[in-house]
Amino acid sequence: MSRKEDFLRYISEVADKLRESKGPALIVSHYDADGISAASIICKLLSELGIFYQLKIVEQLTPKMFSSITSSSYNPVFILDMGSGLKRPQIKDKEMFILDHHLPSREDRTDDDVYELNPNLYGIDGSTDISSSGIAYLLARELMDEYVTLSPMALIGALGDRQDVGEKFSFKNINLFILNEAKKYNMVQVRIGLRLFGSLSRSLVKALAYTVDPYIPGISGNEAASLNFLTKIGIKVVKEGKPRTLKDLSEDEVRALATELIKYMINTGLPVSEAERIFGYNYYIRREQSPLADLREFSYVLNACGRMERHDLGIALCLHRSGEHVREALSLLKDYRRVISETLSFIRGNKDAIVRTYERVLHISLGDVINDKTAGAIASLITSSEANTSHKVICVSVNSKDNLVKLSLRKGKKVQKDIHIGEILSKLSEKYGIVGGGHENAGGALIRRDKLNEFLNDLDKMLKI
């Protein structure tokens, strides 16, 4: 039996346990796109099963919060997109379902009433092969007749965690299995082409300027530069008084745009492999007419909802997606972009004061400039824009509650598979008593402010491989 089959068999066994549950249930999930997508799937599943539930979206699962959860009257409890890395006491007399794709802790699992659905425990890479929303989908698949309607949510969560890591940004392993089901039942359409942000609905100028993955030096975040580039290569951005979108271009124009973009990016000093990331697979929800038809844009909007503390709106978009919800989300997205843009401008204008360079770590200290939920987005954008940096890890720190600092870490673009950020943070958590973990390329931690410098020095030493 393959690893995937073993994992699916265990999920089926856990589904049988869930069938017997009466509730009321508590769902605790992470605030990012994967966490919100996973929570939406479990909300839908429990509704189908007739189980009343309470939903709580959080930033981090701390030991104190875990203790509060276990002492509550809710039964069963779902912990989504976190929980595996937390050292926990033995759980009795309360059914707990942990759906997590992060690295589990090293301790033995002997709880009778805890069902941990984690692909890493079955030799499946949770960093690349399936996200927490994918696990939630597989559980719903065992218990719902129309489970496949939830497949776009599973893929949105995977894209939010950047699991499109196959050739030309395709999916792998179980994510590919989910995608094939979504395609089979006409839920999702796949096209190959330019990977511009919001290419279906946004003007060509905005789509190009809004694209940050890959980062286009001098154009990303700059609509004037985007317009100048398109005009220079001979592509008309307006037709009959209306802004053109990518889908309005002819095949020859698309080909010319792709060629000129790659040439431009290479001329700015980016390696060919980085420039070619502008081209790959795109994923769309069929019969969806809003900008959220693009699954990558949907995942970005959910991340914005989480980081702007509008979890309710994110859940509503996943479960209902009314016109009013979409309009509200697009308005929120503008605010989110403004926060990101202002933060990046602050970093550029205050480099000497807030940027510290270690031998292997680039540290940006933002203090109280942004809320701690936005640190991850800034870390990702800086990593994308610093494609030529030799640093192994980019770390953004933001002040958090209770005299703590939130750290968001990303692996540098030039680093090969010689470090695993999640494993490093797990090891450091043993010394510092912090909450920390993640994946191969990204991770996060909460640490006492007075231990920050010591932590960063230890991190720098651990990266010497």
Residue range 415-421: mean pLDDT, rounded: 75
CA distances from 54 to 40, 71, 73, 205, 453 (A): 12, 15, 11, 43, 40
pLDDT at 48 over 80: yes
Q: Could you tell me the pTM of the whole model? A: 0.91
Closest CA to 151 of 164, 167, 165, 133: 133
| pLDDT at 110 (0 to 100) | 62
Residue range 53-72: mean pLDDT, rounded: 89
| pLDDT at 64 (0 to 100) | 83
Which two structure tokens, joined as six digits, stand for 422? Answer: 């999640």
Residue range 230-243: mean pLDDT, rounded: 94
CA distances from 376 to 181, 297, 364, 371, 444 (A): 31, 17, 12, 11, 8
Give the residue range(s) of CATH 3.10.310.30 domains in the chain. Answer: 351-462
pLDDT at 249 over 80: yes
What is the CB neighbour count within 10 angstroms for residue 246? 21
Give the residue range(s) of CATH 3.90.1640.30 domains in the chain. Answer: 3-160+171-186
Most confident of 65-74, 82-91, 179-188: 179-188
Buried b (16+ CB within 10 A) or exposed e, 429-444: beebebbbbbbbbbbb
pLDDT at 289 over 90: no
Secondary-structure class of domain 3-160+171-186 per CATH: alpha beta
Which CATH architecture best describes the domain 351-462?
Answer: Roll (3.10)
| Measured CA angle at 149 (ends 280, 12), to 5 deg | 100
Q: Are 79 and 97 in contact (CB under 8 A)?
A: yes
The 10s digit of each residue's pLDDT in 115-151 is: 999 999 999 999 999 999 999 999 999 999 899 999 9
* Partner residues linked to 194 by β-bridges: 279
pLDDT at 199 over 90: no
User: Percent of the chain, pLDDT > 70?
Assistant: 97
The 10s digit of each residue's pLDDT in 360-401 is: 999 999 999 988 888 988 998 888 777 656 788 999 999 988
Closest CA to 172 of 328, 45, 20, 281: 281
CA distances from 196 to 199, 296, 353 (A): 5, 10, 34
Q: pLDDT-derived band of residue 446, with 50, 70 and 90 as boundaries?
A: confident
| pLDDT at 63 (0 to 100) | 80
Cα–Cα distance between 436 and 87 in angstroms, integer? 11
Q: pLDDT-derived band of residue 91, with 50, 70 and 90 as boundaries?
A: confident
| pLDDT at 388 (0 to 100) | 56
| pLDDT at 416 (0 to 100) | 62
Cα–Cα distance between 81 and 32 in angstroms, integer? 9
List, in order, residues 6 or more apart from 380 with CB less than 8 Å away: 410, 442
Q: Are 372 and 59 in contact (CB under 8 A)?
A: yes
* Dihedral Cα 157, 159, 163, 166, nearest 10 deg: 140
